[in-house]
Structure 1
Amino acid sequence: MHRKRIIAVLLLIIATIITIATAFKTGINPPAVNVAGSFGAILFLLATAKILDVKDDLFYCGVIFVYLASPIGSVLDLYRRFGPYDKIIHFISGILLASLGMLVISKLLKRAEMFFENKRAYLFSQVVFAFFFSSACAGIWEIFEFTADKLAGGGMQRGMLDTLTDMIAGNSGALLYCFIFVIMIYAGRLDKK
């Protein structure tokens, strides 16, 4: 791992510890599962970045996202204290997951790219995959929330309306990412001749 990434992860760990200490000092007293989940999210980020060979910009966005989603959202209980916070996080996750989906499909089709006669059709197929990858991940996340709540007695799921609006927020983020990508295709910024 590069030195800058190591520093970013160390800062994330330190910020997480400070956030946890602050939560207990201010009387929020987060459940142990939320505290453990914050560190689990860091490990998941590291594993994903390693397996998929994620570029620096996406990695650093992931570091910020993990901090906002786990220590800030779960440990400081911002998901419940600030109503729109959950939807904001799901919107951002849609953007990041679409970006990750783009990385996945680019790696899968790296050798096939030379066989595409129409470069724009190739890029549009990537956009479609990125959107559906993000959408599938949002669905899998909601299944995880449901399962974790049932097994561990958590409070991540707050009913069908919450689940559907979470998925709509994530899909909206993915649509924004895809819309920007399509604009870049038409502007010629992504055509590699």
Structure 2
Amino acid sequence: MEKRTNKRKWNWAQILAIFVLVTLVISMVYAIVNLITAPSGNVPEGQQTKGDYSLMLMQCVLGVVVLFLPSIISKKMKFVIPNAMYIVFIVFLYCAIYLGEVRSFYYLIPNWDTILHTFSGAMLGGLGFSIVSLLNNDERVTLSMSPVFVALFACSFAVFLGVFWEFYEFAADSFGMNMQKTMLEDGTMLQGHAAVADTMGDLFVDFLGAFVISIVGYFSIRKNKKWMKNFEFKKIDEDKAK
């Protein structure tokens, strides 16, 4: 009699998610310890303050929550997120929070913030295409969109979320954070045009990334390119799942 062994199959998306989760949890502990011991007020150049560690802790907590969000939403809405899209999302989360905030890449690597905003614009534009695809495959929704309208929706969706993120950064900075980078690493506060340059630059590259992916998506839909299927949400057939 053969014994059945139920071995769980791991994929790269799950492995990366666990790696990022562990990294963020360790970073949270690191931020809490330093939040207790770090000086407040004026500090020597290059030394981080309590405000820096508060921002680090908040970002890591948000990262852990957001990491689980796709899985929660997909289970509730009964659809499958492709591994390719989830991996892109996890890599972005790691680069933005761990490398950017914990490892200070925002200050150490020139244009790191700009690169991430461009990437996020493209990623959210791709998410817009996936949402339309999911609605098209839902029998309860009667939807027929031209490739132009789908591309416009994807671009608008990405830019809207980019604007919403800037609202979040502005609100966080009201509590002494420095998400909009209006304060340099040495504590110097930017004034006038320089103070809003980060926000406007972020919005511009958000649009640029979304626009590029929308153009690519438009021609891919028109020419029926199959590679886009790797990034589309798949509705779960409840009859087959039973």
TM-score range for the pair, normalised by the shorter chain length:
0.7 to 0.9
Q: Which has the higher contact order (CA 8 A, sep 6+)?
A: 2
Cα 1:176–1:3 shift into 2, 3 Å: same
The equivalent residue for 2:109 is: 82
Q: Is the 8 A contact 1:42 1:66 kept in 2?
A: no
- In the aligned structure 1, how far is the partner of 2:92 from the partner of 2:166? 17
1:31 alignment partner AA? Y
TM-score, L = length of structure 2: 0.66
How far residue 18 of structure 1 moved from its aligned partner, in angstroms, is 6.3
Q: Deviations over 1:100-152 (max 9, x none)?
A: 11222222343478764xxxx533322111110000000000000000110x2
More helix by share: 1
Larger radius of gyration between Structure 1 and Structure 2: 2
- In the aligned structure 1, how far is the partner of 2:142 from the partner of 2:179? 45
Which of 162, 171, 177 pairs up with 2:198?
A: 162
The equivalent residue for 1:91 is: 118
Cα 1:40–1:105 shift into 2, 3 Å: same
Cα 1:2–1:95 shift into 2, 3 Å: farther
1:9 and 2:17 matched: yes
How far residue 51 of structure 1 moved from its aligned partner, in angstroms, is 0.8
The equivalent residue for 2:190 is: none
The equivalent residue for 1:175 is: 211
The equivalent residue for 2:38 is: none
Alignment partner of 1:31: what SS?
A: helix
Q: Is the 8 A contact 2:124 2:158 kept in 1?
A: yes
Cα 1:141–1:114 shift into 2, 3 Å: closer
Q: Is the 8 A contact 2:136 2:143 kept in 1?
A: no
Q: Identity of aligned pairs, percent? A: 21
Number of residue pairs matched by the alignment: 185
Output aligned runs, 1:1-193, within 5 Å.
Answer: 3-4=10-11, 5-16=13-24, 30-52=52-74, 53-111=80-138, 116=144, 122-150=146-174, 152-157=175-180, 158=182, 159-189=195-225
How far residue 19 of structure 1 moved from its aligned partner, in angstroms, is 6.4
- In the aligned structure 1, how far is the partner of 2:105 from the partner of 2:92? 14
Cα 1:3–1:83 shift into 2, 3 Å: same
2:197 alignment partner AA? L
How far residue 59 of structure 1 moved from its aligned partner, in angstroms, is 0.6
Q: Is the 8 A contact 2:105 2:112 kept in 1?
A: yes
Cα 1:49–1:172 shift into 2, 3 Å: farther
- In the aligned structure 1, how far is the partner of 2:179 from the partner of 2:61? 17
Q: Is the 8 A contact 1:35 1:75 kept in 2?
A: no
Unaligned runs of 5+ in 2: 1-7, 35-46, 75-79, 183-194, 230-242
TM-score, L = length of structure 1: 0.80
Q: Deviations over 1:31-73 (max 9, x none)?
A: 1331341242132132134314422111111110000000111
Q: Deviations over 1:15-37 (max 9, x none)?
A: 4456676xx7xx76751331341
